[in-house]
Amino acid sequence: MPQQAAEAAASFPEIDAYIDGLPDINGALIPVLHRAQEEYGYLSREVQLHIARRLQIPASKVFGVATFYSLFTLEKKGKFRINVCLGTACFVRGSEAILRQFETDLGIKARETTEDFLFPLDSIRCVGACGLAPVVMVNDRVYGRVKPEDVKGIVEEHLKRGGE
């Protein structure tokens, strides 16, 4: 059983340290998942199993929670996460056209990632910057009052930094 052996052998010292520091493991699952995602970028099968063991809960529960919340991801994400806001304020100011422009320029659909793993494209709902609608976020950076013509520039700006 090579897979199981590999899973048992995988070690996650950062997560262990975090869990050891908790006053109580009851109800700690979501904070632990947040921590793991922050550390590794996504929640692999191995890390989910590890967390289940450490918190003494069934792996099915960990999986159930990890898939319930949209901020958790089970797959590796690309480098520059482009998120077009489709919240109401942005929607009525035309953010759908912005998303379509990104799809055209990158040659992918929303929820896909470019082949070079640089640009995962997705939509989000309201980042609380409605005054700047329509809004695009690239990782933690906010672009406000975006027009379809600006899309090309946003992509190029990141392409230049792509090699970093």
Partner 1 sequence: MSDNYGQVRIALRNCGVIDPEKIGDYIAQGGYDALAKAIFEMTPAEIIDTVKKSGLRGRGGAGFPTGLKWELSGKSEGDEKYVMCNADEGDPGAFMDRSILEGDPHSVLEAMVICGRAIGARQGIIYIRAEYPLAVKRLQKAIGEAEELGLLGDDILGSGFDFGIRLYLGAGAFVCGEETSLMNSVQGGRGEPRIKPPFPAQAGLWKKPTNINNVETYANVCRIILNGWEWFRQFGTEKSPGTKVFALAGKVNNVGLVEVPMGMPLRHIIEVIGGGIQNGRKLKAVQTGGPSGGCIPEEHMDTPVDYESLVALGSIMGSGGMIVLDEDDCMVNIAQFYLKFTAEESCGKCTPCRIGNRRLLEILEKITTGGGAEKDMIDLDELGNIVRDCSLCGLGQSSPNPVLSTLKYFRDEYLVHVNDKRCPSKRCTALLRYFIMPEKCIGCTVCARNCPVSCISGERKKTHVIDQARCIKCNTCYEKCPVNAITKE
Spatial separation of the C-alpha atoms in residues 112 and 109, rounded to whole Å:
6
Question: What does 135 interact with, of partner 1, ligand FES, none (CB < 5 to 8 A by kind)?
Answer: ligand FES
Which CB sits closer to partner 1, 78 or 148?
A: 148
Which one of 99, 118, 135, 154 is in contact with ligand FES (CB under 6 A)? 135
Which CB sits closer to ligand FES, 12 or 143?
A: 143
Rounded to 10 degrees, the C-alpha dihedral 14/113/132/38 comes to 0
147 binds ligand FES (CB under 6 A): no
Burial 20-55 (b: 16+ CB within 10 A, else e): eeeeeeeebbeebbebbbeeeeebbebbbbbbbebb
Which one of 36, 51, 66, 85 is in contact with ligand FES (CB under 6 A)? 85
Instruction: Give the binding site for partner 1 (CB under 8 A).
Output: 26-31, 33-34, 61, 64-65, 68-72, 86-93, 97, 100, 104, 124-131, 133, 140, 148
127 binds ligand FES (CB under 6 A): yes
Spatial separation of the C-alpha atoms in residues 140 and 124, rounded to whole Å:
13
Spatial separation of the C-alpha atoms in residues 151 and 160, rounded to whole Å:
15
Q: What are phi and psi of 45, to 5 degrees?
A: -55, -45
Which one of 25, 30, 97, 130 is in contact with ligand FES (CB under 6 A)? 130
The contact set with ligand FES (CB under 6 A) reads 85, 87-90, 126-127, 129-130, 133, 135
